[in-house]
Amino acid sequence: MFIENYKKSQPYSTFLLDAIGAFVSLLVLLVVILPFKQWFGMPVSALYILCILASIMFFYSSLCFFKKPKHWKPFLLGVILGNLTYCSISTFFLITYWHQLETLGAFYFIWEKIVVLAIVGHEALVWKK
C-alpha cells in the first residue's frame, strides 16, 4: 500500500522538489549573490534575468504541485524544458562573462548547472514512467 501511494505521488513530489530547488536558487541569487556581486563577478543584468527565470520556475512548479493535475506528464515536461532553458541561459552568461567572473562566481555557476541537470535527469526518469 505504501509503495503504491508513493508511486502515485512521485510526479507531484517531483514538482515539489523542483519548486524547492527554484526557490533556493532564487534565494541565493537575491540574498547572497546580488548583495555581494563583487565577489562573484556576474553582471547585475544577468543576475536579474536569472532571478526572473527562477521565479517563473518556482511559481510554475509550485502551482503544479498544489493543483496536482490528473494528466501530469505535459506539466512535468514543461518543468524539464524550463530547467533546461534556465541552464542554457545561465551557461550562456557563464561563457559570455567568464573573463569577469571571480573564482567564487565560476564555482557557484558551474555547480548550479550540475545540480539543475541532475534534477532534470530525475524528472526525465519520472516522466518516462
* 87 within a domain of the structure (yes/no): yes
Cell numbers found for residue 35: 548583495
Q: Is residue 50 domain-resident?
A: yes
22 closest CA partner among 125, 123, 124: 123
Measured N-to-C along each axis, helices 2-27 and 103-128 cross at an angle, to the nearest 10 degrees, of 150
Report pLDDT digits (tens) over 13-68: 999 999 999 999 999 999 999 999 999 999 999 999 999 999 999 999 999 999 99
For residue 2, is it within any domain?
A: no
Q: Which of 65, 66, 70 is nearest to 123 (CA)?
A: 65
The number of domains in the chain is 1
- What pTM, to 2 d.p., does this model score? 0.89
Q: How many helices (H) and strands (E) in the chain?
A: 5, 0
Whether 85 is covered by a domain: the verdict is yes
Range of the domain at 120: 10-64+72-128
104 is a domain residue: yes
Determine, yes or no, domain membership for 5: no
